[in-house]
A and B are shown apart, each in its own frame.
Chain A
Amino acid sequence: MSTASPVGEPSGTAGTFPLQLDIDSDTLASCVACGMCLPHCPTYRVTGEESASPRGRIALMRDVAERGEADEAFVEFMDACIQCRGCETACPAGVRYGHMMEVTREALASQTGYQPRLRRLAYRALGMPRLLGFGSRLLGLSQRLGLMRLIGLLGRARPFRQLGAMTASLPRVPVRQSPLIASGDDVWLFTGCVMDAWMRDTHRAVQAVIESTGAGVALPPPRASCCGSLHLHAGLASDTRRLARKVMAALPGEAPILIDSAGCGATMKEYGHLLGTEEARRFAERVQDVHEWLAERVDNLPSAAPGANGSAPLQIAVQDPCHLRHVQQAHLPVRAVLSRYFDVVELDDDGLCCGAGGAYSQQHPEVAGAVRERKVAAIERTGANVVASANPGCTLHLRAVGLDVRHPLEIVAEHLSAREA
């Protein structure tokens, strides 16, 4: 049932402001409004509203591009997009929706107050590993000391409402994590920002699986901490470019750069396009999702343990992160790796987004929750008891409703270590 609305009171009479949308007219005209994208759009699915669909958003972009002005309603409609790009996979005409949305967000961020100062600062913090690490430990401590309830109460007061909603849906964050240790220089394992701060054990498992093929893993220095993906989605492309240059400088050489977070991988594969330099293009070619790399070497992986160590066999449902399936088209390698060890069951929702969308679930909890309900129902229909998801955002978003969600390679690593034991 569609209940959530991406907009509150329509603001038809609200004031307009100038907005230059730099999307060329051929790109804008490439959508023929056939509507094939609608069922593949998570926000349309839960709202049933044209304004929350790719077809509708493109029409609105066209309108604004022609008139050179927009209003608050336009900003809300654009902001309600999760940027999962499921519509691109579905589009028979090959419309580059993701690109159009990135240009629109960038125009909003640079020409309007779309990204308020506080939020810009928060995004900036992602590129500061020490600050992020300190903040995370503080958050972890607060959670353990019950301070979050206090923030939650505070959240009822108007100025803190968004903060309250955000903190309520945050995962339990670790206070102390042991460091990862490099084992060679065959491949880089990119560790990222939030994921390294909150989910380092996932990296540890991924590293173990890579090493089980006989490869040595190099780790980037802390300064290459954030790929800039969230910034790009927020329309802060210049921040992404700045971070991209740092990341590139920190990962020199020719070795493949393996990513275990679909969102980061999708953005880093785009560095060439984003920076427009030959160096960036060469760098982007080295970027692979870790499953892509492993799928090519699946025979080098240890064989499956016989008898599945006595316990009930795992029924694994694969939840495809959008940025793996729709952007990188790298969802099949996940199955290639998992199916060496387990029975994999497919969801029947055509890879519809789960609602996480990087920071989206924090900024639009109601829509993100409604989208998640569909995903949870699809998972329940499979009868699986474990969900494999190759993206930290999806993992946290789905764990928040009690599902057993793990990174695919965590599941593999666990199996391999049990096998050794």
Chain B
Amino acid sequence: MNRRSSGGSEPQWEGASTGSPDAGASLAANIAAEVTAFAHEVGSCDPVTVVGAQAHWDVGGTPLAGTREVRAPAGVWEHEPSEMTVRCGAGTTVADLSAHLAQTGQMVPLDPADDAATVGGVLACGFSGHRRLRYGHVRDLVLQTRHVDASGKVVTAGGPTVKNVSGYDLARLLVGSLGTLGLLAEVILRTLPVPAASQWLTGDGDPFAAFDLLYRPSSILWNGSHAWILLEGDPADVAAEASKLEPAGFAPCDGPPPIPAVGRESMRPSDLRALAGTGGEWLAEVGIGLVHRHEAVQAAPVAPANALLMDQLKQRLDPDNRLNPGRRPW
């Protein structure tokens, strides 16, 4: 467990109690202190940006020059395997989180291209990994967030349990907001069992037909001529599904080539077919509609009514435009 020392002032909000009363209370106090310290660091006046691993530093524009940099707390704070939840600081690297969870056979399939990326960074970008086809969008892995808002106060959204519809879903709003509405301090994520078996296959068969053939594959990547398919689950099931793919021209392999990490082109899953025969190096997620490219991609425009709402949200939640100035998620 990687726990930072408590940073000075007393916790400023209620909540955060699990486990036995004493241990629970001190743990809660420690976590609260970490978050509070981060809130103090963020403060309430000057322009500020939160720095993770800078794995996607230029997404939505780089922060304006001279913006003060802060780092979110790091550390896996609470993990109860039978609850299938984990609480960690937003500054925790995905590598650290994964290593911690692996000890009890669990995972959070964030799957960033570079696992030095921080949990907060992945969520702020809202970038799902290559296994989204099976495990869903990263925002669906988030149960609770604590963020520091423009006034330097801590805001809790969502709840610590695996299921929760208490109040407005600000946690989902923060995912993909590039830290422009608030800076993530702490998150509680849903964990999953690491699948017993896992197998990549590759070949030049039709990936769309393969998608229809399989029951919930974990990933289907395609570069226009070849496809890489990830099967996960019970060993017998993986073997059976793999054998269905063999006649379609797929054979086991170690894994896909590195996924281009610069541009993410978003389209409808059915529109991917039209990419066949187009040039360039790209890797597309079949069933999802995402095309990874080595070159930057122009984001699609936002409908005027939505753009107005987004502007107004930003205006209300960060009236002085001090959170990550220079960035804009649309």
Answer whether A and B touch in the complex at a CB cut-off of 8 Å: no
Chain A residues within 8 Å of B, Cβ to Cβ: none
